[in-house]
Amino acid sequence: MSQTTEVSLLRDKVFMYFLLARTVAVLGSAITSVALPLLVFQVTSSPLITSLVTAVQVLPYLVFGLVAGAMADRLPRRRLMLACQAVSAAALLTVPLASWLGGLTAPHAVAVAAVVATSFVWFDAASFGALPALVGRARIVPANSMVWTVTTLVGLGGPVVGGVLVAAVGAAPALSFDAASYVVAGALLALIGRSFDAPGARAEGQPRERLRTGIKEGLQFVWQHPVVRSLTLLGVGNSITGGAVSALLVVFAVRDLGLSEDGGGVGLVVGIVAAGAFLAAVALPRLTSRVPIGWITIATLTTSPLALLLTAAAPSLPWATVPLLLWSLTSTLTILNGINARQIVTPLELQARVNTTARMLAWGGTPLGALAGGLLAEAASARFAYAVMSTAVLVSAVLAWRSPLRHRAFATTNHPASEPAG
Contact 409, 295 (CB under 8 A): no
pLDDT tens-place string over residues 113-171: 889 888 888 888 888 778 888 887 677 777 877 887 777 677 666 777 777 788 788 88
pLDDT at site 422: 36
**Residues making up the chain, counted from first to last:** 422
Say how far apart CA 392 and CA 382 lie, in whole Å: 16
The Cα 206–Cα 282 span in angstroms is: 44
- pLDDT given at position 391: 97
| pLDDT given for residue 204 in this prediction | 45
pLDDT confidence band for 385 (50 / 70 / 90) = very high
| Least reliable range by pLDDT among 108-112, 356-360, 402-406 | 356-360
Ramachandran bin of 263, using left for φ above 0, alpha for ψ from -120 to 50, beta for the remaining angles: left
| Cα–Cα dist 123/75, whole Å | 12
At residue 410, what is the residue type?
F
The candidate with the shortest Cα–Cα distance to 296, out of 412, 389, 149, 148, is 412
How far apart, in whole angstroms, are the C-alpha atoms of residue 175 and residue 184?
A: 15
Q: What pLDDT does residue 279 have?
A: 87
Q: State how far the Cα of 268 lies from the Cα of 23, in Å rounded to an integer.
A: 20
Is residue 135 within 8 Å of 334, Cβ to Cβ? Answer: no
- Cα–Cα nearest to 394, from 268, 296, 309, 276: 309
Q: What is the mean pLDDT of the chain?
A: 82
Q: pLDDT (tens digit, 9 = 90+) per residue, 186-216?
A: 999 999 888 887 665 544 444 555 667 767 7
CB atoms near residue 71 (< 10 Å): 22
- For range 7-21, the mean pLDDT: 83
Task: Please state, for a pLDDT cut of 90, what percent of the chain lies above it.
Answer: 27
Classify residue 421 by its DSSP letter: P
Whether 399 has a pLDDT exceeding 90, the answer reads yes
